[in-house]
Each structure stands twice: as structure tokens, then as C-alpha cells.
Structure 1
Amino acid sequence: MLAIPGILACPITLVPLLARGVVILRGERKSPSARAKGCAFLLGAALLGVYAWGLTYIVGAVVESEDGGTGSSPSPPCRTGEQWQVENVTGHSVSYLPLRFECHVDKGASYSTTVPEYVNPALLGCAVLTFASATAALCLPRTRPEERHAPA
């Protein structure tokens, strides 16, 4: 259940990332490096938000599957598969990167459930764009073009 502190920590981290990105982009210093840095902060906030969104699905599925009691086998999140899959469920596992709740069936096969299909590709896209923006912020000039060529 380490995912619950992760869900709680996301908003605490998300708000400062958003605020910092907006402050940088709205600031007077609009060098190419500052713009890329502001974009990196905003994309980092988007990455964190998408991860928190997918994590809520995982936590919900884990809580529902560990509830126990009558009708707890197969695990309720595993009942969304095909009929032959549901009848042959042997267990489940959770992966936090990529976000996945997998239901295991006989003969070593498994199928994913609960996490929407768009979450993991969105995570990958946000991660790549965040990395590219952060790299650009380090490589681009830190002054505006008119400041670079000002007479001394």
C-alpha cells in the first residue's frame, strides 16, 4: 500500500511545479533557456498528474481485490476479461512502472485490467518531452538575442 502516500504526495509536488513553470514563462526574462525551463516544469507537472491518475486506478483495484469475503475469487478487477479468462484466473500482480494490474491465468498467460489504455503512452510521451525540454534548457543560451549583441 505504498501507492497511497504516492497519491497524496503528487498534489503536494504538482502545485509547485505548475506554479514555477507559469512564473518562469510569464516572467520578464524570456531567453530561450528560460522558456525551455518553464516548459520542462509544466511538462513535469503533467507527467506527475498522469501518473497520479493511473495510480488511483491501481490503488482502487488493489483495495477491491484484497477485500476478501464472499465472491472474492476471482479478484473483482479480474472479472472484466473474457469468460474463459475469468474462469481460469490463478492470481494477480501489480506493476508501478508501467502502471499495470495483471490477472494471471493458467499456462502462464496474463491480461491487464483497470488502468486505462492511454495512461502508459501518455506517461512515456510526457517523460520524453520533459527530458527534451530540460536538456534544451541546459543547452540553449541564457540570454535573449538582443542582450547578446548589445554594444559594450
Structure 2
Amino acid sequence: MIAVLLLFALIIALIVGLWGLGTTVSGLVRRRPRRSLRGLAMVTGSIAVVVYASATAFVAMELGDGGTDSSPPHACQTALPDRDATITGYDAGYFPPHFNCHLNNGTQYSGHVVPRFVLPITLVATTATVLLALAARRPVPARSVS
């Protein structure tokens, strides 16, 4: 079920991103800066959604991986820092997306399911979306007639 929702989010984000790209180009050609800013806000918002949805898809795929040799999870087996330690469990979540593995000595480590760039890109794209949307709403100063 979550895979269908993530796929739906990715498709909608792609459509909105392409629409925003068209709006940006149209605003630049017609010299309408507010329209261009709205289009850029749509593009950056789509980037944030695509990156975040991809990260949650990685976590969901790792959680759904089962069958032979699936305990402990493959991510924990491949990222194990100390071959003498025993994996006792794992912790996964979607906000922020993470997949951590727990060892018998009480420590935990990342299963490297979610790439490190996900959170910074999502935060920067979300901030850019908000700032661009606010800038697009700001009234354009009236032109002086001379």
C-alpha cells in the first residue's frame, strides 16, 4: 500500500515540476517575474517531494524485504562495522527517513539505506520553495511614469 502511495506522490511531483518549469519559462519570456517565481517554487517543491519520497521508498523496500536469510536485515549485515558483534535488532522510521541497526553491546549504526544527502536537499528545497512562494506574493512596485 505504501509503495502505491509513494509512486503516486512521485508521479504528481513530476507533473507539478514539469508544470512549474513551463510556468518559469513562460514568465521569463513574457517578463513576468512573479510568474517565474511561482514556477520556480513549484520546481523546488517537487524536488523536495521526490527526494523525500525516494528516501521513504528505500526504507519501505528494506522493511518489506523478507524470505530466506532476511534476519537480520541485509542492510544491517552489509554495513556491520564490527564482525564480532551480534545484531540484536533494527529501528526504522519515515520522519526523518532512517534505518538503524542495534548491536548486542548497546550501540547502534546506520544501515546506509537512506543516502546522506536526503535531509540537506529536502531542507534546502523546502526552504527555497517557501521563500520563492513568498517572493511571488509580494506586490510588484508600481512603475514611475516619466
* TM-score between the two structures when normalised by the length of structure 2: 0.80
| Corresponding residue of 1:120 | 119
Question: Given that residues 25 and 36 in structure 2 are in contact (C-alpha distance below 8 angstroms), is that contact kept between their aligned partners in structure 1?
Answer: no
> What's the CA shift for 1:37?
0.8
Helix, strand or coil at the partner of 1:137: helix
Question: Given that residues 26 and 36 in structure 2 are in contact (C-alpha distance below 8 angstroms), is that contact kept between their aligned partners in structure 1?
Answer: no
Pick from 141, 144, 149: which aligns with 2:143? 149
Helix, strand or coil at the partner of 2:114: coil
**Compared CA separation, residues 110 and 30, structure 1 to 2 (3 A):** farther
Distance 2:73 2:143 in 1: 67
Distance 1:30 1:38 in 2: 13
Q: Deviations over 1:95-115 (max 9, x none)?
A: 112111111223543222211
| Corresponding residue of 2:52 | 51
Question: Given that residues 32 and 140 in structure 1 are in contact (C-alpha distance below 8 angstroms), is that contact kept between their aligned partners in structure 2?
Answer: no
Distance 2:4 2:35 in 1: 32
Alignment of 1:62 with 2:43, yes or no, is no
Alignment of 1:30 with 2:31, yes or no, is yes
RMSD, aligned α-carbons:
2.4
Distance 1:58 1:21 in 2: 29
> What's the CA shift for 1:24?
1.6
Alignment of 1:137 with 2:117, yes or no, is no
Identity %: 26
Alignment size in residue pairs: 141
Q: Deviations over 1:1-47 (max 9, x none)?
A: 63x12321123212331232123212254333222111100101111
More divergent stretch after superposition (76-85 vs 122-131): 76-85
